[in-house]
């Protein structure tokens, strides 16, 4: 029986990405340093990194990668 007093782990921030290379959708997550959303295409491993900027950034939660 699971411990009912255990608190849930905090959710990591993520954004959705449409990888045009393989026409597939996936989510990528904030990197360890909290400087960018980093990930790769789940089919061909094409990398993507979306920088996190303090001012003048985007509020979008969906992006298209190549």
Mean pLDDT of the chain: 88
Answer for the pair 45, 39: CB distance below 8 angstroms, yes or no.
Answer: no
Convert the pLDDT of each residue in 47-56 to its tens digit.
999 999 988 8
9 inside domain: no
Residue 50 lies in a domain: yes
Q: What is the largest CA-CA distance in the chain?
A: 48
Does residue 33 belong to any structural domain of this protein? yes
Residue 32 has pLDDT above 80, yes or no: yes
Over 90: is that where the pLDDT of 9 sits?
no
Residue 3 has pLDDT above 70, yes or no: no
7 versus 44: the higher-pLDDT residue is 44
Closest CA to 41 of 31, 51, 26, 29: 26
Q: What is the pLDDT of residue 7?
A: 59
In terms of residue numbers, what domain contains 60?
Answer: 14-65
**What is the pTM assigned to this prediction?**
0.75
């Amino acid at each position: 029986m699971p411990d009912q007093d255990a608190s849930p782990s905090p959710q990591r921030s993520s954004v959705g990405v449409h990888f045009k290379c393989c026409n597939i959708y996936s989510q990528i997550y904030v990197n360890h340093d909290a400087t960018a959303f980093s990930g790769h295409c789940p089919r061909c491993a094409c990398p993507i990194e979306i920088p996190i900027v303090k001012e003048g950034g985007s509020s979008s939660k969906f992006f298209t990668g190549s």
